[in-house]
Amino acid sequence: MTMNDKALEWLLPQLPALKGRDYQKGPLAQRVTLLTNWLWMDERFDTRLDGLLAAILMTWKHCGKLPVTLIVNRVTDQLGKLAEEWGIRLVLKPEFKGGGGNSKDLNRNTILHLADWFDTDYVLTFQDHAFPLRSGLEEFLDKWDYIGAPWPFDADDWITRLLLPRRGHVGNGAFTLRSRNLCERVAHYYQRHFRFFPHCYLFNDDYFIGKTLPSWERSYRREVQIAPPEIAARFALENNRKLQDEIGLLPFGFHGPDAFSYLLEKRYLAGEDLK
């Protein structure tokens, strides 16, 4: 087990039943691609594949059989078999490295190239500890270009408040719904105005989308629609627990061990099983 014990403890026992379900492509399969990076540099590349598959199948349970793309830096026998069995598209990028200390490259690649890795109207980014917990993805389509879990309000320091006067409170790139329009606009502005800036938190992909670009690019504010926090709280929980409790509903999904533990503790997940 890793730091996301509670999520895995809940998810992995369901994997045999999830494997036994009959998944069909629904209307969402024409519109949304499920996508994540899988870039572990050690044994976790293979040992965590059960959790990854369980997250994919849990998404299919709630959303129908969406197309799946994995961005990988290598293909092991185990991953190759999994991809063939479940029809998962692998995009091989051997130059991509995982683990800490590589946030600059990972964020830059997401900003510049995410639109190249899916063919649908939207992409749903996920992880093995960031996935849907219920149905209802349709609620968020055709209204906003970007939805992620809300960040806590008033958490930015004075430097950030000075630099980013129009910063929003919706981000969390691990579990997001993004339109093709959003991905293309973000790549355009980064390539045109920011590619030579030194990397810092302002250029992490979710921060760039939700805080930096709205503050520094007037036309961007007209071109994209980012969901307001109260809608984003219906979509996902990361660490804005106060807003989650004000909404009072199980969010569509979550990101991270703390968020999952909180949903369990507050019984938002009571009764959620494979029935």
Between helix 103-113 and helix 180-189 the angle, nearest 10°, is 120
* CATH numbers and ranges of domains, the chain: 23-265 (3.90.550.10)
Calculated CA dihedral for residues 163, 169, 174, 177, nearest 10 degrees: -120
* Residue 4, phi then psi, degrees to nearest 5: -90, 50
Residue 234, helix vs strand vs coil: helix
Taking the CA of residue 247 as centre, how many other CA atoms within 13 Å lie in the half-sphere pointing to its CB?
A: 23
Query: What pLDDT does residue 53 have?
Result: 98
Q: How many Å apart are CA 34 and CA 105, to the nearest integer?
A: 21
Residue 158 vs residues 135, 194, 200, 265: alpha-carbon distances, Å: 39, 22, 16, 34
Residue type, 124: L
Nearest to 124 by CA among 169, 175, 160: 175
Residue with tokens 């998944």: 23
pLDDT tens sequence for the chain (275 residues):
444 478 888 999 999 999 999 999 999 999 999 999 999 999 999 999 999 999 999 999 999 999 999 999 999 999 999 999 999 999 999 988 875 445 778 899 999 999 999 999 999 999 999 999 999 999 999 999 999 999 999 888 888 889 999 989 999 999 999 999 999 999 999 999 999 999 899 999 999 999 999 999 999 999 999 999 999 999 999 999 999 999 999 999 999 999 999 999 999 987 665 33
Query: What pLDDT does residue 101 have?
Result: 45
Residue type, 190: Y
